[in-house]
Structure 1
Amino acid sequence: MTRWTTAALLTTLALTGLTACSDDDSPSSVASKVASAASRAGEAVSSATAEAGRRFDDVKSGVDARDDVRLGTPATASDGRTTVEVTATNSADSAKSFTVEVDFTDRDGKLLDAVVLTVSDVPAGGTGKGTARSTHDLSGDVRAKVPRAVRH
């Protein structure tokens, strides 16, 4: 099983700005740094969703399989990343793989991260499992949903 994470590098680069040092710790300087970091984080999420789109564009002859994918309950791993178990059920008469996008959101539905993973070689009539892992630490009440999944 192969797991793709989208935009891990972009997220790391965007969040690097949060640790930059400065001699100017005035309220306006701090506010400017926070606004800049928030903008870069928003750009990272946009990049993650764009990368997810590209991954789906690469899938040829895929069949919508969103109803065949179930998610477990999101949990925080020991490294601070959010993970969720993905289960794909193959109703086809031959082994298939599933490409699945998992969106991590807050309780209000705001997108926090998006990842794409492949659950490979699920036997006919069987199930396969994978784990979606956020590209960066997420906090608060994190939820997960599957906006897209294809069987191929």
Structure 2
Amino acid sequence: MAGHGRRGAVGAALALATVVTAGCAPGLPGSAGPTGPVASAAASRAARDAGDAFAGAGAEAERGIAAARGGVDARNEVRLGAVTLGGDGRAATRVTARNTAGSAKSFAVQVDFTDRAGNLLDVAVVLVGNVAPRATGQGTAHGNHPLHGEVRAAVGTTLRY
């Protein structure tokens, strides 16, 4: 895993699998079928980063992302705020999702926390539910592991459903 710490990659895969499959938002359909390349890419990336021993966690992540049945890639509709580290060392960032659709939609947003060099340190998933048409909704993505130093955030897989 060139450039990636095993702990960070393992945490990323497990965090994505745990948070997404937990069904944290009302109205998240319970389908386990694939939704296409967006869901497959998220699961493949998580499985690759964590290594073969953690492929099961990647599969769980794919099922969780797939729960947003009929979801469309909405990465360009999401903005992140500054990253802060809490007293426990866990990263957090504000997530703002803009709904460009003509009806209320929800968003499943993966946030990748990285170091300055772009190495993956942690992953969080936040669900921003029931955003009115042509409006914005907000949530906060919270990391799962204590981090230190300069931590950045990038928008990962994002589905609008």
Same fold judged by TM-score > 0.5? yes
Q: Matches of 2:72 and 2:9 in 1, distance apart?
A: 31
Give the drift of 1:44. Answer: 2.9
Give the drift of 1:46. Answer: 3.8
- Give me the TM-score of the superposition, normalised by structure 2: 0.65
Cα separation, partners in 2 of 1:108 and 1:54, compared to 1, 3 Å: farther
The 8 Å contact of residues 52 and 116 in structure 1, kept in 2 or not, is answered as no
Cα separation, partners in 2 of 1:110 and 1:79, compared to 1, 3 Å: same
- Which of residues 124, 130, 133 is equivalent to 2:139? 130
The 8 Å contact of residues 52 and 114 in structure 1, kept in 2 or not, is answered as no
Structure number with greater CO (CA < 8 Å, separation at least 6) is 1
Give the drift of 1:39. Answer: 4.6
- Structure 2 partner of 1:85: 94
Q: Matches of 2:102 and 2:82 in 1, distance apart?
A: 29
* RMSD (Å) for aligned C-alpha atoms: 1.7
Provide the secondary structure at the position in 1 that maps to 2:63.
helix
1:106 aligned to 2:115?
A: yes
- Give me the TM-score of the superposition, normalised by structure 1: 0.69
Q: Which amino acid aligns with 2:85?
A: T
Cα separation, partners in 2 of 1:111 and 1:89, compared to 1, 3 Å: same
Q: Structure 1: which 5+ runs fail to align? A: 1-37
Provide the secondary structure at the position in 2 that maps to 1:128.
strand
The 8 Å contact of residues 113 and 134 in structure 1, kept in 2 or not, is answered as yes
Cα separation, partners in 2 of 1:39 and 1:109, compared to 1, 3 Å: closer
Q: Which amino acid aligns with 1:63?
A: V
Give the drift of 1:107. Answer: 0.6
- Structure 1 partner of 2:29: none
1:151 aligned to 2:118?
A: no
- Structure 2 partner of 1:16: none
Q: Matches of 1:126 and 1:141 in 2, distance apart?
A: 32
Q: Structure 2: which 5+ runs fail to align? A: 16-45, 47-57
Larger CA Rg, structure 1 vs 2: 1
Tell me the matched-pair count: 115
- Structure 2 partner of 1:76: 85
Identity of aligned residues (%): 47
The 8 Å contact of residues 52 and 101 in structure 1, kept in 2 or not, is answered as no
1:5-84 to structure 2, matched below 5 A, reads 39-40=6-7, 42-48=9-15, 49=46, 50=58, 51-84=60-93
